[in-house]
Amino acid sequence: MNSGRKTMRRFTAALFIAGFAGLAASCSTSNGQETRSPKAQRELADALAGRTAGPPVRCLPSYRSRQMQVIDDWTIIFRDGKTVYVQNPRGGCRGLGSGAYTLVTKTYGIAQQCDGDLNQLVDLRTGMMGGSCVFGPFTPYTKP
């Protein structure tokens, strides 16, 4: 009976370790960005034409992020007057570029989007959650 419990504990520990290893692999910090489509390349080039990149900012007030444009699964831009903020979610935001999902952001306290914020994807047809993505820093591009 005692050996049965030890075997069960070992089995449970092995399952836990295997599950944790799988989770760690899926949360890899490697870029993993696939090749950007020609259409996405054109859209991004058009949005940034004549603009110069500034130093990344950690947060973007929500009032500045009202005009959002999804370029692809790895790039979202926010327009605010002459400034375009480029957001590259960490690890991408799988499915967002397909147009089948919308991005739902939540703000707590101060109304702003920040580096490290977790955002949800919602299927536009079913209303069901379809995944999530984590924002990175925002890179501002301004016209001189």
Residue 21, in any domain of the structure: no
Q: DSSP for 72-108, please give it.
A: ETTEEEEEETTEEEEE--BT--TTGGGTSEEEE----
Are 100 and 124 contacting, i.e. CB atoms less than 8 angstroms apart? yes
Is the residue at 15 inside a domain?
no
Q: Evaluate whether residue 9 is within a structural domain.
A: no
The answer to whether residue 118 sits within a structural domain is yes
Residue predicted with more confidence, 38 or 66: 38
Task: Please state whether the predicted TM-score (pTM) of the whole model is above 0.85.
Answer: no
Q: Is residue 6 part of a domain?
A: no
Q: How many residues does the chain have?
A: 144
Q: Which domain holds residue 104?
A: 50-142
Q: Flag whether pLDDT at 3 surpasses 60.
A: no
**Cα dihedral: 79, 85, 88, 93 (round 10):** -20
d(CA 125, CA 94): 17
Counting the structural domains of the chain, the total is 1
Q: Who wins on pLDDT, 88 or 29?
A: 88
Does the pLDDT at position 76 exceed 60? yes
Q: Is residue 11 part of a domain?
A: no
On whether residue 34 sits in a domain, the answer given is no
Q: Is residue 32 part of a domain?
A: no
